Structure 1
Amino acid sequence: MGLTNNDIFKKLRVAHKLRDEDIIKICALKDFKVTKGEINALFRNENHPKFMPCGDQFLRNFLDGLIIHLRGPMPQKQIKKS
């Protein structure tokens, strides 16, 4: 059995020393709104009644926001005029 999205998200949180507020700001960079309650539900034990599995969309938006957070926004492409 491999890693779940929750496991990947937990490892990224620890590796980058992110707090709940940081995760909310990172998700906001991709216009993805998330609450502290949702974040806490993702990090709970799988046996906990309020556990929430991390979906692909959530992880994708977080990773895209993390890229913007670490590298900055993509520069605009210049259009060549003929």
Structure 2
Amino acid sequence: MSNNEILKKLRVALELNTDDIIKILSLVNFKATKAELGDMFRSEDHPNYKLCKDQILRNFLNGLVIYKRGPREPRTETK
């Protein structure tokens, strides 16, 4: 399964729109445009199809954790 397919399936399963995905990516300081994301959601035979690289999927997954759980609280050391 390609990164594009994983991203598409997560988008559908979590009922996310393009703006949500841009917001999720921005939580980990990763910039993406609607056009770039639209090209990733196209079929592979489309002339504007863009491959979703590992870095994009990794940042999306890291941002999704923050989006769903909230930011990580700082650890307090106990002695």
**Fold equivalence (TM over 0.5):** yes
Indicate the TM-score class for this superposition, using the shorter chain for normalisation.
over 0.9
Q: Which stretches of structure 1, 4 residues or longer, exceed 4 Å deviation after superposition?
A: none
Task: Give the corresponding residue for 1:51.
Answer: 49
Task: Give the corresponding residue for 1:72.
Answer: 70
What residue identity is the alignment partner of 1:74? R
Q: What TM-score do you get using the length of structure 1 for normalisation?
A: 0.92
Larger Rg: 1
**Number of residue equivalences:** 79
Structure 1 unaligned segments of length 5 or more: list them: none
Q: Distance in 2 between matches of 1:6 and 1:24?
A: 15
What residue identity is the alignment partner of 1:43? F
Determine whether 1:32 maps to 2:30.
yes
Q: What TM-score do you get using the length of structure 2 for normalisation?
A: 0.96
Give the superposition deviation at 1:77.
1.0
Structure 2 unaligned segments of length 5 or more: list them: none
RMSD after superposition: 1.0
